[in-house]
Structure 1
Amino acid sequence: MNLIPRHAPDAADPRDDWRHHGGCLEPARVDPEVMFPGRYDPPAIRRAKTICLECPVKAVCLRSAMDEEGGSRPQSRSGVRGGLTEHERSALARRLGQGRALGKRAAA
């Protein structure tokens, strides 16, 4: 089961790229550094996640982060993307990977 939806932007219109619609890109509201809180700074993490809660492209952002981070080590992941920290995305990737492996074993 695919829990993270994909987005197919209109290739003819570069403004349709989901990245142009992120809540974190609103310059009047968000300093880009806000989306990269320290690992041990819960208030800063909550602030970044709050921005993601209202974001119209949250699910697509999460999908993009998961695709980009694919097999990368947790150290190469950074920031809050799609409402999840790098550690939460790493845990989600492990769960999704385990689910696929279990499904293949059951089908065999």
Structure 2
Amino acid sequence: MIHHYTTTSHTAPDTLDRAESWRPYGTCAAPQYVGHEDLWFPEPGDTEAVRAAVRVCESCPVLALCRQAVAVEEHGIGKASRYGIRAGLTPVQRWAADTSTRAAQGKGGRQLSPCGTNTAYDRHVRRGEPVDTACRKAHAEHSRAQRERERHRPRRAVPDGCGTTRAYYRHIQAGEPIDEACQAASDAYEQQLTVPPGPPECGTRGGYARHLRKDEPACTPCRQANTDASRRLRTTGTTTERSAA
């Protein structure tokens, strides 16, 4: 006679709350922080205490899960009803990140830039909030890119051909022989320093400016001199007429 046995297995029901199973792995649950809950509730205005709590949270291995849980728990809660440092964020930061609040929409319904951008870094600085690691990295990358753009930006060449006092001093600094045009420009400049300046003569840009100051009609030579000086300024970057090198 053959007997058939039926084996029945009984499994205990899974009563573990999977949504909360990450909490024992949080840094705040470590023995050195148990009993020091005041670390997460710094006094208002104590920036150093806030930064210390944020640094602890940033090293937490379950920071992302903690932020998700806090976002669900505080969804729709006003700024005044949020307390302490949670998931590495201050009450104002959590309120601003909540999509159901007006702060997250910005002025006119504009969405605020998320953390991890240079705009978010500037927002933290303006509000006096602790800056998270992602925003600091984004700001450093933005500054590096800006310096790189400045380094490759073409510089406007300043003309300093011979026949000017600038070229005269350049020759001296470089130990080069001084040509006649540069020497003449230097002598004229020295003479201007020693001789008291008189009223500008007609046929010069100074004469044109004198006519304007005195509300006089500018003569034809002065108008022509002003036109020529303006044209030289646009083409060479200076109003001084230069001799050929």
Same fold by TM-score greater than 0.5: yes
CA–CA separation in structure 2 for the residues paired with 1:20 and 1:37:
23
Larger Rg: 2
Structural RMSD (CA): 2.8
1:22 shift after superposition: 1.0
Mapping of 1:49-64 within 5 angstroms? 49-64=54-69
Mapping of 1:24-103 within 5 angstroms? 24-29=28-33, 31-93=36-98, 94=101, 98=105
Q: TM-score, normalised by structure 2?
A: 0.33
Deviations 1:3-61 (A, max 9, x none): xxxxxxxx654597111111011122461110111231101001100100110111111
Secondary structure of 1:51 counterpart: helix
Pairs aligned (count): 92
CA–CA separation in structure 2 for the residues paired with 1:63 and 1:96:
19
CA–CA separation in structure 1 for the residues paired with 2:15 and 2:103:
33
Secondary structure of 2:69 counterpart: helix
Q: Corresponding residue for 2:190?
A: none
Percent identical: 37
* Change over 3 Å in CA distance of 1:33–1:91 after alignment to 2: same
Identify unmatched segments of 5+ residues in structure 1: 1-10, 103-108
Q: Greater RCO between the two (CA within 8 Å, min separation 6)?
A: 1
The match for 1:19 among 16, 23, 34 is 23
Q: Corresponding residue for 1:106?
A: none
Whether the 8 Å CA contact 1:24–1:35 is kept in 2: the answer is no
Amino acid at match of 2:63: K
Amino acid at match of 2:25: H
1:70 shift after superposition: 0.7
Whether the 8 Å CA contact 1:52–1:58 is kept in 2: the answer is yes
Amino acid at match of 1:40: G
Amino acid at match of 1:63: Q
CA–CA separation in structure 1 for the residues paired with 2:102 and 2:67:
15
CA–CA separation in structure 2 for the residues paired with 1:79 and 1:18:
20
Whether the 8 Å CA contact 1:34–1:44 is kept in 2: the answer is yes
Q: Corresponding residue for 2:148?
A: none
Whether the 8 Å CA contact 2:54–2:88 is kept in 1: the answer is yes
Write out the 4+ residue segments of structure 1 that deviate beyond 6 Å after TM superposition: none
